[in-house]
Amino acid sequence: MTLTWILLVLPGIICTETQIVDVDMSLFGCTDSEGEEMYGLDGEEYSHADFTQGKYVMTLPKFADQFEMVEGTYEQALVNMQICKQNLQTTIESYKSPAVAEAPPMSSIYPRDEVKVGTVNTLICYIAGFYPPRLTVQWTRNNKNVTQGVSSSQLRPNIKDGSFSQFFTLKFTPQEGDMYTCTVEHSALDGPMTRDFDVEVSEPSLGPSVFCGVGLTLGLLGVATGTFFLVKGNQCN
């Protein structure tokens, strides 16, 4: 399956007391069976065409100023995909079927909050720098596949190099000794890439308690000794 992507970056400058540069981004592409169209600002997506639901989806965070796409945007996206697919074979022949560029992903795994046994938390698997924008992720707990509580973010394009990043999350209730893994499969990898997370809860250290106890004991002994010599001194007087 051959994939073609078209990336348009339109920079604009707004002048106030300080100079602010905003970069608008429009990305669309297709294969012979799939399509993608999205818009972003400063490297962050704010909307994309969902060809499964049949509408344009806004992906702005709740705290951002919300707005709606112009009427007919989704219909135009359908037209763009038809044109893309019609031109796909011509493009392939023109470029003599070039090899598809690939970039392997990098991944990391970490909890959203401080880990406390028995307290619900979220495990995050962050995957970045990959191309083409298609991969699979699998979660396990103690070597058993996990499918409940799993979710993922939208693909996020990097306008600097054309690669993509994505967040995958797992809601979990940590128990001492549990081991979780996030395994990524991508065409640019020689094999699956796995990141581990062990639930380790540190036991409270006895050192501070021991030092406090010894210090308190020595302090009381010092007070008793001082009192003894003070009484003896008064008797001598």
Asked whether the beta carbons of 164 and 186 are under 8 A apart, the reply is no
The top-scoring range by mean pLDDT among 4-13, 39-48, 124-133 is 124-133
Whether 41 and 22 have beta carbons less than 8 Å apart is answered as yes
Architecture in CATH of 4-94: Roll (3.10)
Question: Which position has the higher pLDDT, 191 or 200?
Answer: 191
The Cα 231–Cα 236 span in angstroms is 9
Distances (CA, A) of 62 to 35, 53, 59, 67, 140: 27, 21, 9, 11, 31
DSSP code of 96? T
pLDDT digits (tens, 9 = 90+) for 70-126: 888 899 999 999 888 888 888 777 877 667 778 999 999 999 999 999 999 999 999
d(CA 172, CA 115): 10
Q: Are strands 164-172 and 150-152 parallel, antiparallel or unpaired?
A: antiparallel
CATH 3.40.50.720 fits 106-198, yes or no: no
Give me the sheet containing 19-30, strands edge to edge: 4-15, 19-30, 35-41, 44-50, 55-58
pLDDT in tens, 151-162: 998 788 887 788
What pTM was computed for the model?
A: 0.61
pLDDT band of 20, cuts 50, 70, 90? very low
- C-alpha to C-alpha distance for 232 and 127, rounded to whole angstroms: 76
Strand (E) or helix (H) holding 139: strand 136-141
Q: Which residue has the higher pLDDT, 9 or 134?
A: 134
Domain ranges within the chain, ordered by starting residue: 4-94, 106-198
pLDDT at 21 over 60: no
Residue 131, helix vs strand vs coil: strand
The span from the CA of 35 to the CA of 31, in Å, is 6
Residue with tokens 């210090």: 215
Residues 47-54: what's their mean pLDDT? 86
Q: Indicate whether 1 pLDDT > 50.
A: no
